[in-house]
Amino acid sequence: MIKTSLRRRTFLTSGAVAAPALLSFGAHAQTALPDKGLQITVGFVRNGAADMMARIIAPRLESRVGRHVVVVNRPGSTGAGAADALKASPPDGSIIAFMPSTTLALSVAQATVSFDPATDFAPITVAGTFQTALAVSPKSGVRTLDDYKDWAKGSDARRRRLGAVLTDALLQVYGKSIGRDLGIEFENVAYRGSAPLVGDLETDRISSGMGGVTAFVEYHRGNRLRMLAISGPKRLPLIKEVPTATELGHPNLLMEEWYGCFASKNVPAPVVAEWNRQIRAVLVEPEVAAQLSGYGLQVEGTTVEGATTRMAAHLKMWKDRMELLGLKPIVL
């Protein structure tokens, strides 16, 4: 359940003007950001995890920089709509994108994407990391990963259908990684959003699914799905009952993705640096950090250089992972 304060903040970013925000504009107007309305683009539908996290950040940015900050949704496959919008954005830096690293990975896993992170984007900061979770329908009766392995290998082929909010290109990588380690040949099923996947898990129309903890955590706590394992190096305090795949004997499933803020490559370096300064200041605010952590995000806030290094390393990791699995970029 989203707290009342978060609903109020979401309302303020949708275009409504609040008197307290206006009063603070004068005190925080000294900034290198463009003297116009600013936009954070999200490549997913409203009320998803990425959208809600962007709407936590936006009003605090607005009060700091003295500019109206709106969140605009450009849904596309694995967030690609935000990447395309960013590539076409003006060079003044008035538009940035809040994207998961899986969107960047499309450029490696899929041969037909319209963007190249290395040449089209200027990383601003890594907002925080998140883990991938393997979840099952509560109606399955499965409670542990060991139970799941035996259960999925049974005679009913429907138990080996694995859903995910990813393109076919990314789904084959995740699905093959998990299937190889668990000894299961999955039938991969792509979903256009976390809500339909959760709905199918809840009603047992699909037996298992994988997705970011940021997308699953609310539903796990509401008993609409059951997370069996997460992909990070250690358990999360928010869901400390869920073990890591590594501690269950599957270190090959160690994966950690992240959310970052990005500008167009054409934006001047001083503007990128100012975005970095302002966003990092927002991320360390206790209320903001607590709300983002509530979505399973482990908040960071890196330098521009740190974000640039992280992006390059992430793209290399995806290339290496695909080579290990013997996969080639998919042509769609």
For 16-29, write each residue's pLDDT tens digit. Answer: 333 333 334 444 45
Q: Residue 77 above 50 pLDDT? A: yes
pTM of the model: 0.83
Predicted confidence at residue 332, as pLDDT, reads 64
Mean pLDDT of 77-102: 94
Out of 253, 274, 307, a domain closes at: 253
- CA–CA distance, 10 with 58 (Å, rounded to integer): 9
% of the chain beyond a pLDDT of 70: 91
CA distances to 100, 117, 182, 276 from 264, in Å: 16, 10, 40, 14
332 assigned to some structural domain: no
Same domain, 9 and 114: yes
24 assigned to some structural domain: yes
Q: How many domains does the chain have?
A: 2
Q: Residue 13 above 60 pLDDT? A: no
Predicted confidence at residue 160, as pLDDT, reads 94
| CB 37, CB 13: distance < 8 Å | no
pLDDT tens by residue, 200-222:
999 999 999 998 898 899 899 99
Same domain, 263 and 114: yes
Same domain, 22 and 137: no
Same domain, 21 and 125: yes
pLDDT tens by residue, 187-196:
989 887 778 8
Average the pLDDT over each of 25-29, 103-107, 170-174, 281-285 and give the range with the smallest value. 25-29
Give which of 70, 72, 66 is closest to 34, Cα–Cα: 66
% of the chain beyond a pLDDT of 90: 66
Mean pLDDT of 45-54: 91
Helix H or strand E encompassing 42? strand 38-42
Q: Residue 271 above 50 pLDDT? A: yes
Same domain, 125 and 262: yes
Domain residues for the domain of 180 are 131-253
Q: What is the CATH number of the domain that holds 13?
A: 3.40.190.150
Q: Which amino acid belongs to residue 80?
A: A
Predicted confidence at residue 297, as pLDDT, reads 94
pLDDT band with cut points at 50, 70 and 90 for residue 10: very low
Mean pLDDT of all residues belonging to the chain: 88
pLDDT tens by residue, 208-263:
999 889 889 989 999 999 999 999 999 998 899 999 999 999 998 888 899 999 99
Same domain, 162 and 142: yes
Predicted confidence at residue 107, as pLDDT, reads 93
pLDDT tens by residue, 108-145:
988 888 999 999 999 999 999 999 999 999 999 999 99
Same domain, 12 and 159: no
Predicted confidence at residue 171, as pLDDT, reads 78
331 assigned to some structural domain: no
Q: What is the CATH number of the domain that holds 206?
A: 3.40.190.10
pLDDT band with cut points at 50, 70 and 90 for residue 169: confident
What is the SS3 assignment for 46?
A: coil
